[in-house]
Structure 1
């Protein structure tokens, strides 16, 4: 129970970071959008790479605290 405040702060920090980056998802250069008529196809290539890098950093920090 002594680690509970640390866990809550870590979860809050992660949610804050995710919320910040959710504003930019789909707007990065390199994301591919095809629009033809009423159909839109979206390939978030660069967004996936950025999210992958961020999650790798976050999980490496979490792994160091255990």
Structure 2
């Protein structure tokens, strides 16, 4: 469980920091990425972008 947290937490911090940079390349605006306003705040669910980025990461991991 600790190893899982050691990997997931830095990955989430890295992805949240790179969000604006990735939006320039179209991530977060793919079909399947949802944005909505609720409770006075804008929420984003980048489902398609997450799947695409995980596929790219899996290909890179397979090559290494």
Q: Which residue of 1 aligns with 2:32?
A: 30
Unaligned runs of 5+ in 2: 1-20
Instruction: Check the 8 A contact 2:23/2:29 in 1, yes or no.
Output: no
Deviation of 1:35 after TM superposition, in Å, equals: 2.5
| In structure 1, distance between residues paired with 2:36 and 2:59 | 31
| In structure 1, distance between residues paired with 2:56 and 2:50 | 10
Unaligned runs of 5+ in 1: 1-18
Q: TM-score normalised to the size of structure 2?
A: 0.56
Q: Say what the alpha-carbon RMSD is for the aligned residues.
A: 2.5
Q: State how 1:1-66 maps to structure 2 within 5 Å.
A: 23-35=25-37, 38-62=40-64
Instruction: Check the 8 A contact 2:37/2:43 in 1, yes or no.
Output: yes
Q: TM-score normalised to the size of structure 1?
A: 0.54
Query: Paired residues, what number?
Result: 44
